[in-house]
Structure 1
């Protein structure tokens, strides 16, 4: 009988030990740890900013080296003029060359800190007052759908492997971190771009929150804009030549 009760006693002791750990953790938290001023969180925030700044510097260095390599290739590759033109066309399509033309810039921003609901709408929850990943992605998708020749989010050119990701209301794009307000610029036929924005169901849903809670939304047409060529690395797991 004594041996049969031993597992039960061990399990009971483990449960009490776990409960004690939870109580100690809760007590320490209740004593007043402030997540806005906690040193470890501030250090993490500083580290993220430092890494983002360093990534920007590395992007600039990569762009300079890539420019030198391109110059050497054009000088020594022995290709024909037709082949060079084809290569330039492919580079433009890939987004690694500058692109100049008429453009639309879409600006999105969080609601004001003191935002309240417009008449007829329920009071907002915290998630109703900030820009989310799906909002930014909806704008980017609509602009591509509208025939954009190139798209830039903040100060970075998008390519086929670019991913727009948000953690909370912070944008992480190609190794760099951004806070709202966000700007998305697309070069192309501005009438078609406007229509694509207006026709997007996801953006129509976003406009409801603009009306209800004051989320930011602004579309500016610009006569001439030059988008930078993408200068980062390209990690492809699988690729086929386009027909």
Structure 2
């Protein structure tokens, strides 16, 4: 019988060249590298489990440097705090003084405007042409929201839910990180719906709505003609109450409020009222005008 071919090496030589079962066995049984065990034994023999004094010294030095830096920062903050507080007080006093001056000038302007209006009316009542001109001026003043208005109408009150339980879910927060639900576009839609319902004059949060008045969002605040308003938002609309109510009940503005009421717990109240008082709007002078068209 011929001997196994030396070129092939035979079955025994093939088993010696493929030591895979032994390698797999070692990987499954020996989970740690032998070097870890040797290092642990050397540390136990030489007592090297404690760190050298040099390491502790560097750590102490680093801690001392950190303490020095924080101490210097605190000292600097304390030294500059009086100056910062003084500057803040000066700025706050300046703002209060400017606000007082503005309020005083505004009252004076309103008084002079009222006196001029009274003189104008007395002069125009003398003849038919003047009375016709006066009636047209009154209509324009009402459209421009420059005269105070008292009459019947609707009162719409919208209240943010505040601490309502269903707002703990962030998916129900219209403003991330805030409990505010009512946004500027909601009040805009309500005001537009009241105009479409037949309102003759509207105020939002005590601010008269006119041609140059806007409702917009600034962060978490709602500004009406640059005056901040907060919940509850009160909207007064002077006009025929019954006809306005019938139309407003089917308007997009009230439907939006009802949807917010059902989804977020917003408080919505619509009521008829008599003797609603709306202030006059701010009079703005037009300094630049350009004719559009022929």
TM-score by length of 1: 0.66
1:204 alignment partner in structure 2: 255
1:104 alignment partner in structure 2: 154
Q: Does 1:73 align with 2:120?
A: yes
Q: How many residue pairs were aligned?
A: 195
Q: What 5-or-longer segments of structure 1 have no aligned partner?
A: 1-38
How far residue 149 of structure 1 moved from its aligned partner, in angstroms, is: 0.8
2:230 alignment partner in structure 1: 179
How far residue 205 of structure 1 moved from its aligned partner, in angstroms, is: 3.1
Matches within 5 A, 1:57-136: 58-75=105-122, 80-116=130-166, 124-127=172-175, 129-136=180-187
Q: For residues 59-107 of structure 1, what are the alpha-carbon distances to aligned partners after superposition, in whole Å with 9 as ceiling and x for unaligned?
A: 4343222112223434557872222232223222322222222111111
Stretch deviating more after TM superposition (127-136 or 226-235): 226-235
TM-score by length of 2: 0.55
Which has the larger Rg? Answer: 2
The structure with more helix, counted as a fraction of residues:
2
Q: Secondary structure at the match of 1:112?
A: coil
Change (3 A) 1:238 1:163: farther
Q: Secondary structure at the match of 1:208?
A: helix
1:191 to 218, 239, 242: 242
* Higher relative contact order (Cα pairs below 8 Å, separated by 6+ residues): 1
Distance 1:205 1:188 in 2: 22
Q: What 5-or-longer segments of structure 2 have no aligned partner?
A: 1-84
Q: Are the counterparts in 2 of residues 116 and 123 from structure 1 also a CA contact under 8 Å?
A: no
How far residue 230 of structure 1 moved from its aligned partner, in angstroms, is: 1.8
Q: Secondary structure at the match of 1:199?
A: coil
Q: Are the counterparts in 1 of residues 155 and 272 from structure 2 also a CA contact under 8 Å?
A: yes
Stretch deviating more after TM superposition (51-60 or 101-110): 51-60
CA RMSD of aligned residues (A): 3.4
Distance 1:124 1:89 in 2: 45
Distance 1:195 1:239 in 2: 40
